[in-house]
Amino acid sequence: MDIITTHIGADFDSLAAMVAAKRLYPEAELVFPGSQEKSVRDYLAQEFRNIYEFKKVKHIDLSRVRRLIVVDTRQPSRIGNLAECLNNPGVIVHLYDHHPDAPDDMRGAEETVAPFGSTSTIFARLFRERGITPSPDELTLMALGIYEDTGGFLHSSTRPEDLEAASWLLAQGANLDIITQFISRDLSAEQISLISQLQQEAQPLSSAACPW
């Protein structure tokens, strides 16, 4: 059995990378190791209903896993109970990740690792090189993964390859309306603190005090 998984608390980039990996490993099962972010759960319910079958760890006989494809992490501690598969005799590990190297990273028979702003960028580049055109849903999800993980291309981890990948996905048909719908624009802690300070220090002004 082949399974594709990612880290616990899956975000849009890890979800997109799982779906993209399914293109390269069509017989593999998509398995969440644990929870997903609420926005991801909402997306799956609204946009990906009945398109892909995602399984939970309890649905999998871990002893039967012969190939473990892990995306958006290389940390065994982040894949929950699926780390048990690493002890299976002869298990083959394939890794796709954009995070910096760490001493306790898993090692794989195949490792596709690049310091981009998102793992979705890695898959977009692979698809472009291999002439693979994702479906409209896949294009949108991959673009969503890039946009979220790069903070709308504002995070310092953003690379030119992220913009190139997003441009290619949009040219192929990614839906910006859906991306806009699901991208969170929550205020930062600093912004919330500033708003609270402004509210506490605000003073009423009479019409006579206004210069206009």
Q: What is the pLDDT of residue 78?
A: 96
Q: What is the pLDDT of residue 1?
A: 94
Contact in structure between 74 and 102 (CB atoms under 8 Å): yes
Q: What is the pLDDT of residue 212?
A: 44
Q: What is the pLDDT of residue 44?
A: 87
pTM for this predicted structure: 0.85
Which amino acid belongs to residue 211?
P
Q: What is the pLDDT of residue 46?
A: 81
Which residues are paired to 71 by β-bridges?
A: 96
Q: What is the pLDDT of residue 30?
A: 96
* Mean pLDDT in order along the chain per 10 residues (212 residues): 96 96 96 92 78 88 97 97 96 97 96 98 97 94 95 92 95 91 64 59 53 45
Q: What token pair was written down for 37? A: 């972010």
Contact in structure between 153 and 27 (CB atoms under 8 Å): no
Classified as helix, coil or strand, 8 is: coil
**How far, in Å, CA of 107 to CA of 37, rounded?**
27
Classified as helix, coil or strand, 71 is: strand
- Domain coordinates in residue numbering, the chain: 2-180
Fold exhibited by the domain 2-180:
inorganic pyrophosphatase (n-terminal core) (3.90.1640)
